[in-house]
Amino acid sequence: MKGLKDLLLLGNPLLYQVCDPVKQSELHLVKDWVVDLHNIMEEIRAKYYFGRAIAAPQLGIMKRLVYMNIDKPIVFINPEIVDFSNDMFELWDDCMSFPNLLVKVMRHKKITVKYLDKNWYKKEWTMSDDLAELMQHEYDHLNGVLCTMRAIDDKSYKWRP
């Protein structure tokens, strides 16, 4: 079982790699991966008081898998953003892989994501506002992109108070 010590931090080269899709033959592994993702997210919440989702590569699991826990846990296997609004909004983004740093970024106000659930059923979800931002952040992780790479400008960084 993985713990907070296994969370990859800013600068780790694995965070900049594109993840491989989860294969149906790996579905039996997803349950264990999700337990690890959940546990680490809870440790982050207890220590830093934030955290609504985490992507598998943040634990060195180089698979296209996202775990989100807002009102209830949800697993996104091989998510793909298939549509997005032209409307954008600016926000201070945070990340478990650099918990004391905030980065000002622009995100699409609305997105549609297709994915497989934990039972390998096809799903589609249109998300707006904070959920859309959250999924874009996690989706970026699957593509080796960190919010530091999306900073609006050179002055778009600050320490978390």
Catalytic residue ranges: 138
Tokens for 114, please give them. Answer: 């297709």
Task: Check if the beta carbon of residue 147 is closer than 8 Å to that of residue 69.
Answer: no
β-sheet bridge partners, residue 109: none
Backbone angles phi, psi at 67, to 5 degrees: -115, 125
Q: Using alpha carbons, list the distances in angstroms from residue 158 to 93, 99, 104, 113.
A: 10, 11, 9, 30
Task: Check if the beta carbon of residue 76 is closer than 8 Å to that of residue 113.
Answer: yes
β-sheet bridge partners, residue 159: 101
